[in-house]
Amino acid sequence: MNTWQWIGGLLVFLGIPFFLLGTLGLLRFPDVYTRLHALAKADNVGLGLVCIGLGIQSGSVVLLLKLILIWVLMLIASATAAGLIARTALSRGLRPWGT
Amino acid sequence: MTELYPVVVLLLLLNILVGMVRILRGPTAADRMLAAEMFATSAVVIVLLMAVVSGNLALIDVALVFALLAALASVTFVSRAWSAMAGRRPGVECDDDGRGGTQ
Amino acid sequence: MTKSWRQAVQERTAGVMRWLGMQQTGVGLPLRILAYAGIWWIITGGEGGWLWGLPAVLVAALFNPFPTTERWRWRLRGVLAFVPVFAWLSLRSAVDVAWRAVHPSRPLHPALVDYAWNVEGGHARVFLANLINLMPGTLCVRFTEQGMTVHILGDPARTIAGLERLEAVVGRLFQPLGEKDD
């Protein structure tokens, strides 16, 4: 097992805790806005680390780029979705917790 | 290291199971949608890890399609489903028990 | 009969040419073809399949799904500067939110803050509004002509200062067409 394999594997294992902590935030945070914070940030960094880690492990440039493409698509999806849900919730008169 | 990936996949499945609590509790439709979004991201990771474990690289294309559909799912939810649900009681964002906005 | 047919063809040709001219807005046709060809190369895993790929790339590049009235393009130097900033801030935001989630007392101090635009151009503003959802402790909850309302989790002064720095980086991403690159 060479160095790149180890670095890639390390990134994958670094990414997984963000999923667990994102879910913890989803359960513990008090309202939809704070939960959006937890999900949009933690899960996407987790996904990024896993994608880049697996890409490095594969040892193929095109596969690494494909995994990064998947990550970027998910980034666009969740950034847009988070903004859309937050704006709609506020315009519906859903008051943020603690304000 | 790759030998540990099935364990990671199980961990992520467990993570999804725990996230189900948010779907059960709500209280608004948006909170449930957030949990569903979390499932989508986890599903992408699970599929990618399984692609490595099984050596079937076609699964990466499956993850690509998942990622593309994730955007559509959220936009559809906000523009169609949420509006339709709120239409039951205009002006007030309510949970499923019919209580008003504050949580 | 023949004359009207010829006239119809001429009108149609003029329409197509006008439409093609309109497509020049946005990123610019040659760059779009190159970008879509790159994406095709990536999703096919470098195996080619250009018999299907080339027509798909050309059609996708010609039918620009994002026609804009504003003329702008990406500024390469800005994009290169943006990537490390984005990577660092995403990592920091994920650690920040994870820390708030595991902390026993759940340290959340949510507030709504109004933020006035400094950056010009609708594309840059929309980009920034979506981007801050992934950045530390910010979430865009309202988007207007004058500014945006941001839902924040921590210290307002520090968050606003961070937003202003980020806005400057985003402003350097785009270059209005007709302006010289610096």
What would the pLDDT profile of C4-61 be if each residue is shown by its tens digit? 888 888 888 887 776 666 555 555 677 778 888 998 898 888 777 888 888 888 888 8
- Output the CA torsion sign for A68, A11, B15, A85: negative
**Residues constituting chain B:** 103
Question: What value does the mean pLDDT take over residues C124-152?
Answer: 88
Answering whether pTM is above 0.90, one says no
> Quick one: pLDDT band at residue C65, thresholds 50, 70, 90?
low
Question: What value does the mean pLDDT take over residues C135-156?
Answer: 86
C107 pLDDT more than 90 = no
The pLDDT assigned to B49 comes to 92
Residue C48: partners with Cβ closer than 8 Å, 6 or more residues away: none
Asked if A34 reaches chain B (Cβ–Cβ under 8 Å), the answer is no
Q: Report the residue of chain A nearest C141, measured CA to CA.
A: A87
Question: What value does the mean pLDDT take over residues C144-162?
Answer: 86
Asked if A90 reaches chain B (Cβ–Cβ under 8 Å), the answer is no
User: Which residues, given as ranges, of chain A have pLDDT below 50?
Assistant: none
Domain-located, residue A3: no
Domain-located, residue A44: yes
Q: Which of residues 63-92 of C touch A (CB under 8 A)?
A: 90-91
Q: Which one, of A99, A97, A98, lies nearest residue A31 by Cα?
A: A97
ipTM of the assembly? 0.88
Domain count, chain A: 1
User: Which residues, given as ranges, of chain B have pLDDT below 70?
Assistant: 84-103
C122 pLDDT more than 60 = yes
Residues in chain C within 8 Å Cβ distance of B57: 45
Domain-located, residue A45: yes
Question: Which of C39, C106, C133 lies closest to A82 in CB terms?
Answer: C133
Give the tokens for residue B33: 């949608």
Domain boundaries defined on chain C: 5-67, 73-176
Q: Which one, of C105, C130, C115, C123, lies nearest residue C163 by Cα?
A: C115
The pLDDT assigned to C106 comes to 79
The pLDDT assigned to C182 comes to 46
C132 pLDDT more than 70 = yes
C145 pLDDT more than 50 = yes
B93 neighbors A93 (Cβ within 8 angstroms): yes
Domain-located, residue A99: no
Domain-located, residue A15: no
Across the interface, do A44 and C141 touch by the CB < 8 Å criterion? no
B28 neighbors B93 (Cβ within 8 angstroms): yes
The pLDDT assigned to C19 comes to 62
Residue-number span of the structural domain to which A28 is assigned: 23-91
Question: What value does the mean pLDDT take over residues C70-81?
Answer: 79
